[in-house]
């Protein structure tokens, strides 16, 4: 039969399709089964290369109560990314914010500017992202944090990452080129990820789930 004339090529295409379908099906199961709760939605700034300006950007800090995972969730016009955050990562984030607040106070008091990465601020985590209609995954996303002065009175905390290649296609990558947090934005995010606030929010989620469960005894 003609369909088997190029058997090797046909089987290669079948294997490729199966792999893609299994990945998509796996991500669909994760998305459908997980219950994500937005603990905090905040804003930062991103550089608009066309307008040469800093524009507002939203992000979310979420908790998946099925898989017990925290996420830093990013959104733009075509990509949504879920960066996993462990308790150790959250502790590191809090230390980064605290160091930024310390340096910001010193910089303002001394009327100086600075452009420097925070000491020992980076960590590597996995990220899952949806690009258009397709899902991708990488376990090699490195987050780094920098202190950046716009002038002697305006100092920002900047989150940047490497270009993390997808495990399924090395040419498809996820990256945060620069999330700029002014002091008030950094303070709001820090307040949301304190151990006390997280504990309070998780208790609210548990109580809400109990109420929901009681409706279906």
Residues 207, 100: Cα–Cα separation, whole Å:
35
Nearest to 169 by CA among 126, 124, 131, 125: 131
Same domain for 90 and 9: no
Same domain for 109 and 25: no
Phi, psi of 68 (to 5 degrees): 55, 50
Same domain for 4 and 69: no
**Structure tokens that stand for 113 in this block:** 């500017």
**Structure tokens that stand for 116 in this block:** 């420097």
pLDDT tens readout for residues 51-86: 889 999 999 999 999 999 999 999 988 999 999 999
Threshold 0.85, pTM exceeds? no
Same domain for 133 and 42: yes
Same domain for 20 and 98: no
Torsion of CA 202, 203, 207, 209, to 10 degrees: 20
Same domain for 9 and 57: no
Same domain for 179 and 166: yes
Same domain for 53 and 28: no
Same domain for 60 and 20: no
Supply the pLDDT for residue 20: 38
Percent of the chain with pLDDT over 90: 75
- CA-based angle 79:69:62, to the nearest 5? 55
Same domain for 57 and 29: no
Same domain for 146 and 112: yes
- Long-range Cβ contact pairs of 50-57 (< 8 A, separation 24 or more): 54/180, 57/179
Average pLDDT of the chain?
Answer: 86
**Structure tokens that stand for 50 in this block:** 């066309």
Burial degree of 126 (CB within 10 A; 0-12, 13-18, 19+): middle
Same domain for 93 and 29: no
What residue has token string 């991500």? 27
Domain count, the chain: 2
Residue range of the domain that includes 25: 1-33
């Amino acid at each position: 039969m003609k369909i088997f004339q190029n058997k090797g090529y046909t089987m290669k295409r079948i294997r490729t399709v199966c792999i893609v379908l299994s990945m998509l099906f796996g991500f669909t199961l994760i998305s459908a089964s997980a219950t994500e709760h937005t603990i905090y939605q905040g804003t930062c700034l991103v550089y608009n290369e066309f307008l040469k300006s800093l524009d507002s950007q939203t992000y979310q800090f979420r908790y998946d109560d099925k898989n017990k995972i925290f996420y830093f969730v990013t959104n733009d016009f075509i990509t949504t990314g879920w960066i996993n955050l462990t308790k150790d990562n959250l502790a590191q984030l809090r230390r980064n914010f605290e160091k930024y607040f310390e340096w910001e106070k010193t910089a303002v008091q001394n009327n100086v500017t600075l452009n420097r990465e925070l000491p020992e601020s980076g960590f590597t985590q996995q990220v899952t992202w949806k690009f258009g209609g397709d899902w991708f995954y990488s376990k090699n996303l490195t987050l780094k944090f920098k202190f950046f002065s716009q002038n002697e009175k305006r100092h920002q905390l900047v989150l940047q990452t490497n270009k993390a290649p997808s495990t399924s296609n090395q040419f498809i990558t996820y990256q945060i080129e620069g999330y700029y947090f002014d002091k008030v934005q950094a303070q709001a995010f820090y307040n949301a990820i304190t151990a006390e606030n997280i504990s309070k929010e998780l208790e609210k989620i548990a109580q809400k789930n109990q109420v929901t469960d009681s409706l279906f005894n």
